Amino acid sequence: MLNSYSAELFKFIKRPAVWVLGALWLALLLAFTELFPYIAYRSAASARQAGRLLAPLLPGQLPGHVITGYPVWGGALILVLGALCWGSEYGWGTLKTMLSHRPGRLTFYVAQVSTLATSIAALVIVAFALCSLASVVIAGSGGAPLDLPPASAIAQAMAAGWLILMMWSLLGVCLAIVFRGMALPIGLGLVWILAIENLIRFTAPLIDALGQVEKVMPGADAGSLVAALGAATSSSTGVAAVVGGEQALWSVALYTGLFAAVGAVTLLRRDVQ
Amino acid sequence: MATLPASAQRAALRTTGLTKRYGNRTVVDGVSISVSRGEVYGFLGPNGAGKTTTLRMVVGLVKPSAGTAEVLGRRPGDPQGLARIGAMVESPALYPYLSGHDNLAVLARHAGVERARIGAVLEQVGLADRAGDRFDRYSLGMKQRLGVAAALLKDPELLILDEPTNGLDPLGIADMRALIRRLGDEGKAVLLSSHNLAEVQQICDGVGVIFNGKLVAQSTVQELRGGVAIVVLATPLERAESQLVELLGREKVSVIDDQIRLEVGLDRAASLNRQLMLAGIDVHELRREERSLEEVFIAMSADHLNRPGGSHAQ
């Protein structure tokens, strides 16, 4: 198993598309969570408004603030990463090569998912490091206090962020295995996150039944988890307390397990052409 | 269909009634083959005959609808079995963004193979100089060589190769054939799927022929080609024929296109020539005839296609 994990990590690190996607993800994160809010704060019309805009950018608000983008756009890009990893195995025909060599199907699957989990953990850590640095700089420039949040709060936010991204990446993996390719899974995944989840979010207040559906939607539950960690709620980021924090955590964990299981079972049962 | 060779006792690969159905269509129908250690086994058949599906079942990519396969004593796809098999099924498919060397490094890590083997197999297939180039920049022949290198990486006991000489230049083809023959001589079992009948005739010991998913012949190459015959061109034809029938018996003499074909060994040629001359028959030509595998295969194809249920009949 360790051999396969090391092989998959080697393959992952060597793949240019992974670095491009990771860099894009970090750049968007910094832009949407630090740069644009900072520009808005600097352009504030009044001191009161400036104070309101500066507050979430300060180090004390870091845990919830950094993961604000994870439920929607952050998750969408990570879904692409998951679909890219598995979809290209079908596209290039390399799945056939790998499975006719050494690793068994389950070993290969677990090694790839572990690699994805490792890289997402690294991405979350780098994201926190960059956003911490940005918030310290912003606080310094605005003359605001440098009160750091407790380490446990940072750890909780990182773990929640990692879990949310794992859920979306495994949806990408699962769709790629089910549809044996890359394009359709990416298209369907993005439609789900960016369109379906949003449509339900906006229509749920109007129809009771949709309100109940919203409570069990993966994106809405991810948004609830982020909201439970102190992030500002907003319809544009998908962060809203639709369900309680504990329920949201269980739901996101359940979806993560479900997507992983569906991917594994499909791979184990199907013929590889 | 010929019976399995006696050497099946030490078979590295044995399939029994291997069958694959997709809906109502039977792609592979009860195929039973056996490949022994030290044997290079040619798997022949026209396009769409079921060769690649059979190979896929053997390496565990495709699950059989019926029948069994035993690969080095294990079920297909078993990681312990895969550790001792080298396979290239269809065209070589490797990661386009990795170099040839790095592609092998990925496979070596998965298999727990020492890195030193990478250089050795690259050398073996003549790709050491271009090992650092990206796979997507390789020519078809180079990709093919890398696919074979990947199959050799684990120093396998059983090698499964699907059209390994596709895209190679003539020198490359000769090298690859010599390599495969040498592997067989070293005691490895090799299952070689090929369209190239001359290649199979040249390097294979055993051969299985598959048409429409059914194994129609399994034998040694020599047995399949049949024994050596003598062809006689003599006048007058009728007298020569009756003379030879008197000498050898009706079952050993046939006349095809003004030529008399004798199912006898070459050691009889001189005495037959003498007796025909003594009988006043002019012998214009007397030569050895041996059917090539290609002729046998074409004859089998024609026979198969004309049979009810054959492709022509369909």
- A102 to B87: CB separation less than 8 angstroms, yes or no: no
- B60 and B174 both lie in a single domain: yes
- B278 and B194 both lie in a single domain: no
The C-alpha angle B109, B111, B115, rounded to 5 degrees, equals 50
- B165 and B254 both lie in a single domain: no
Average pLDDT in chain B: 86
- B67 and B141 both lie in a single domain: yes
Query: What is the spatial distance between Cα B293 and Cα B165, in angstroms, rounded to a whole number?
Result: 18
For residue B164, being part of any structural domain is answered with yes
Q: Are B170 and B190 in contact (CB under 8 A)?
A: no
Query: What is the spatial distance between Cα A132 and Cα A100, in angstroms, rounded to a whole number?
Result: 46
Overall pTM surpassing 0.90 (yes/no): no
Which chain B residues are within 8 Å of A102, Cβ to Cβ? 79, 82-83, 107, 110-112, 154
Supply the CATH number for residue B261's domain: 3.30.70.100
Q: According to the model, what pLDDT value does residue B227 have?
A: 65
For residue B82, being part of any structural domain is answered with yes
For residue B295, being part of any structural domain is answered with no
**Segment among A231-235, B5-9, B20-24, B116-120 with least mean pLDDT:** B5-9
- B120 and B88 both lie in a single domain: yes
The C-alpha angle B310, B304, B230, rounded to 5 degrees, equals 170
Q: According to the model, what pLDDT value does residue A53 have?
A: 83
Q: Which residues of B touch A (CB under 8 A)?
A: 56, 59-63, 77-79, 82-83, 85, 87, 89-98, 102, 105-112, 150, 153-154
Alpha helices in chain B (DSSP H): 51-59, 79-82, 100-111, 116-124, 140-152, 170-185, 197-203, 221-225, 237-248, 269-278, 293-306
- B89 and B58 both lie in a single domain: yes
The confidence band for B312, taking pLDDT boundaries of 50, 70 and 90, is very low
The confidence band for B306, taking pLDDT boundaries of 50, 70 and 90, is low
SS3 of residue A104 by DSSP:
coil
Q: According to the model, what pLDDT value does residue A87 have?
A: 93
- B65 vs B304, higher pLDDT: B65
- B99 and B204 both lie in a single domain: yes
- B17 and B149 both lie in a single domain: yes
ipTM metric: 0.87
Q: According to the model, what pLDDT value does residue B2 have?
A: 40
For residue B118, being part of any structural domain is answered with yes
Domain extent, residue A129, equals 2-269
From the list B96, B109, B154, the residue facing A10 with the nearest CB is B109
Query: What is the spatial distance between Cα A137 and Cα B64, in angstroms, rounded to a whole number?
Result: 63
- B198 and B279 both lie in a single domain: no
Q: What is the pLDDT of residues A200-215, one digit of tens each?
A: 888 888 888 888 888 8
A169-173, A192-196, B152-156, B190-194: which is most confident: A169-173
- B63 and B202 both lie in a single domain: yes
Q: Are B74 and B239 in contact (CB under 8 A)?
A: no
Q: According to the model, what pLDDT value does residue B262 have?
A: 86
Report the pLDDT averaged over residues B294-305. 73
For residue B310, being part of any structural domain is answered with no
> Where a domain ends, among B179, B203, B224?
B224
Report the pLDDT averaged over residues A259-265. 96
From the list A3, A14, A92, the residue facing B93 with the nearest CB is A92
Query: What is the spatial distance between Cα B310 and Cα B23, in angstroms, rounded to a whole number?
Result: 20
Q: According to the model, what pLDDT value does residue B309 have?
A: 53
Is residue A265 predicted with pLDDT exceeding 90? yes
Q: According to the model, what pLDDT value does residue B96 have?
A: 95
Is residue B168 predicted with pLDDT exceeding 70? yes
- B172 and B241 both lie in a single domain: no
- For chain B, the domain total comes to 2
Share of chain B above pLDDT 90, in %: 36
- For chain A, the domain total comes to 1
Is residue B59 predicted with pLDDT exceeding 60? yes
Domain extent, residue B83, equals 6-224
> Where a domain ends, among B171, B204, B224?
B224
Supply the CATH number for residue B84's domain: 3.40.50.300
Q: According to the model, what pLDDT value does residue B176 have?
A: 87
- B176 and B275 both lie in a single domain: no
Share of chain A above pLDDT 70, in %: 100
Is residue B142 predicted with pLDDT exceeding 50? yes
For residue B305, being part of any structural domain is answered with no
Is residue B195 predicted with pLDDT exceeding 70? yes
What does the CA dihedral B166, B167, B171, B175 come to, rounded to 10 degrees? -40
Is residue A61 predicted with pLDDT exceeding 70? yes
> Where a domain ends, among B208, B224, B240?
B224
Is residue B110 predicted with pLDDT exceeding 70? yes
